[in-house]
Amino acid sequence: MPIDPSASSAAELASLIERLILEQQRLEPLELLLAAGALAYPDYEAWRLGQRAVLEDALRLQLADTLVLLQRAEEQARCAGLVGAPTDYRRWGDDAAPLHVGPSPALQRALATLYAPPPDRRQLDLFYDSGAVVAEETLREALLARRFGAARDACDRLRGLAPAHARLGDWQHLIDTLDPTARHTGPDASRVGAAALLHAIDAITPTAERLLGRRARDCLALLWAELADAADGSDFDPAAPRLHASHALAWLGRWPDVRAAVEAEPGWSDEPVLLERHGRACRLSGDHRAALGDWFALCWAYPDTAERLLAAGDFPDPRLAAHWVAFCDLDPPAGSAPPLETADFPAWCLLVEPGLAAEVPADQRVSDPGRATAYRAALALARAPDDVGRRRALGAAHPGLLVAFLGLRRAGG
């Protein structure tokens, strides 16, 4: 979910902006929108390729909220000592036509400025006195814009100016790996094997990130898209889960396609990796109900996987992540009531947030009969928390859950 620029998210937004500045020594508005989830990468990529006329209608926040987010970023960047510099956006590829942000003048202005350290006159003179520095920066920008011919020309200039340049070999390797014309030369080259592609991606990623930083994503996306095509239609192999198309599609942020790829796999809900991908895809494409069903299913059938996901910093449902922290902090129930386990987390969520009862899928399947009974009892009690009969039913099914429920009621007054 995108960061909401409300007061409750101010600390999260400030932390994100600080991290971007530290990583890049500058702040680019579009990079912030991508990192904050306010812009989906497939929409951004389509715009940069000229496949989307304007960017504004792809925003995942309301325009007013997006402008507030960008305004706060500008204020923080200036407080960090950065100064504004004009920037524009052009189409990737050989046709470097200007791109249109959208009809909003305020958004156009906000995206037309990046923030960077103030230029020191001496450093600036040294920069322009060094032909190798200029050639390397030209090479970097050409690669990021997917202009491989220009990148090769810049690499040749760099080689002529500094034959012993420390990064020259890495730049050449990166160009050769990314440029499809360098890799696709044989009669069957259009059908490069998925395993070979994945190996190439793993091998080149550290180099790309070292040379291009965060924006290595813009170049690596070419390889991941090719991998998604190469793996399309391949059966899922638990021994090689990254060779399923859903993995490459997830890297690209193509969440509806991830869901479709997973659902095309027979028995996908019996594979924890696919169940995890399906839940993430559902959540990030807006089907929170289906995602909730997947997370609960993981808790029941694959608790170790569920624990890892819920504790991870990138878990896509912040509400469930917060509930997990509270669940892990519960004191053991007094007396003979059994302690709560990960498989009890779905039922506990319903008790701590009764509104979830209206969101969970109606056809949840719990293989353990006892847990199924406890879950149904918790679901019923969440819908009528003052019903004494439903409290008794929960106590009979799982005394520990009833103890937790009563503790929540006392804490809530």
Helix, strand or coil for residue 96? coil
Are 18 and 114 within one domain?
Answer: yes
Share of the chain above pLDDT 70, in %: 93
Encoding tokens for residue 69?
Answer: 């987010």
**114 in a domain, yes or no?**
yes
Q: What is the mean pLDDT of residues 73-100?
A: 94
**226 in a domain, yes or no?**
no
Q: Which domain holds residue 172?
A: 119-213
Spatial contact of 347 and 398, defined as CB atoms under 8 Å apart = yes
Q: 197-200 contacts: CB < 8 A, separation 24 or more?
A: 197/223, 197/226, 197/227, 197/230, 198/227, 198/242, 198/243
Helix, strand or coil for residue 90? strand
Share of the chain above pLDDT 90, in %: 79
Are 49 and 149 within one domain?
Answer: no
**185 in a domain, yes or no?**
yes
Q: Is 390 a residue whose pLDDT tops 90?
A: yes
In 3D space, the residue among 392, 279, 261 whose CA is nearest the CA of residue 346 turns out to be: 279
Are 341 and 405 within one domain?
Answer: yes
pLDDT, greater one: 191 or 157:
157
Query: pLDDT tens, 215-234?
Result: 999 999 999 999 999 999 89
Count structural domains, the chain. 3
Are 106 and 66 within one domain?
Answer: yes
Q: Is 245 a residue whose pLDDT tops 50?
A: yes
Q: Is 393 a residue whose pLDDT tops 70?
A: yes
Q: Is 40 a residue whose pLDDT tops 80?
A: yes
Q: Which pLDDT band holds residue 121 (cuts at 50, 70, 90)?
A: very low
Q: Which pLDDT band holds residue 134 (cuts at 50, 70, 90)?
A: confident
Of 5-9, 229-233, 348-352, 406-410, minimum mean pLDDT range: 5-9
What is each CA distance from 324 to 183, 225, 330, 385, in whole angstroms? 46, 34, 10, 21
**288 in a domain, yes or no?**
no
Are 20 and 60 within one domain?
Answer: yes
Spatial contact of 327 and 345, defined as CB atoms under 8 Å apart = yes
What is each CA distance from 320 to 171, 314, 350, 383, in whole angstroms? 43, 12, 11, 19
Q: Which element (helix H / strand E) includes 83? A: strand 83-86
Encoding tokens for residue 135?
Answer: 């050639």
Q: Which pLDDT band holds residue 238 (cuts at 50, 70, 90)?
A: very high
**328 in a domain, yes or no?**
yes
Q: What is the mean pLDDT of residues 398-403?
A: 93
Instruction: Mark which of 173, 188, 213 sits at the end of a domain.
Output: 213
**363 in a domain, yes or no?**
yes
**381 in a domain, yes or no?**
yes
Spatial contact of 343 and 300, defined as CB atoms under 8 Å apart = yes
Backbone phi, psi, residue 32, to 5° = -65, -45
Are 113 and 167 within one domain?
Answer: no
Are 145 and 76 within one domain?
Answer: no
Q: Which element (helix H / strand E) includes 333? A: none
**243 in a domain, yes or no?**
no
Q: Which pLDDT band holds residue 276 (cuts at 50, 70, 90)?
A: very high
Could you tell me which residues come within 8 angstroms of residue 255 by beta carbon, excluding any fewer than 6 positions away?
280, 281, 282, 284, 285
Are 46 and 125 within one domain?
Answer: no
**What is the structure's pLDDT at 2?**
65
Q: What is the mean pLDDT of residues 361-379?
A: 89
Cα 244-249-250 angle, rounded to 5 deg: 100
Spatial contact of 219 and 254, defined as CB atoms under 8 Å apart = no
Instruction: Mark which of 167, 194, 213 sits at the end of a domain.
Output: 213
Are 69 and 38 within one domain?
Answer: yes
Encoding tokens for residue 170?
Answer: 């890495």
Are 126 and 204 within one domain?
Answer: yes
Query: pLDDT tens, 94-116?
Result: 999 999 999 999 999 999 999 99
Instruction: Mark which of 154, 185, 213 sits at the end of a domain.
Output: 213
- The mean predicted confidence, pLDDT, of the chain is 90
Q: Is 272 a residue whose pLDDT tops 80?
A: yes
**Alpha-carbon dihedral sign for residues 278, 279, 284, 290:** positive
Query: pLDDT tens, 59-68?
Result: 999 999 999 9
In 3D space, the residue among 245, 313, 316, 322 whose CA is nearest the CA of residue 284 turns out to be: 316
Are 202 and 143 within one domain?
Answer: yes
**Alpha-carbon dihedral sign for residues 121, 122, 128, 133:** negative
Q: Which pLDDT band holds residue 353 (cuts at 50, 70, 90)?
A: very high
**What is the structure's pLDDT at 411?**
77
Q: Which pLDDT band holds residue 133 (cuts at 50, 70, 90)?
A: confident
**What is the structure's pLDDT at 84?**
94
Are 73 and 94 within one domain?
Answer: yes
Q: What is the mean pLDDT of residues 30-53?
A: 95
Q: What is the mean pLDDT of residues 327-340?
A: 84
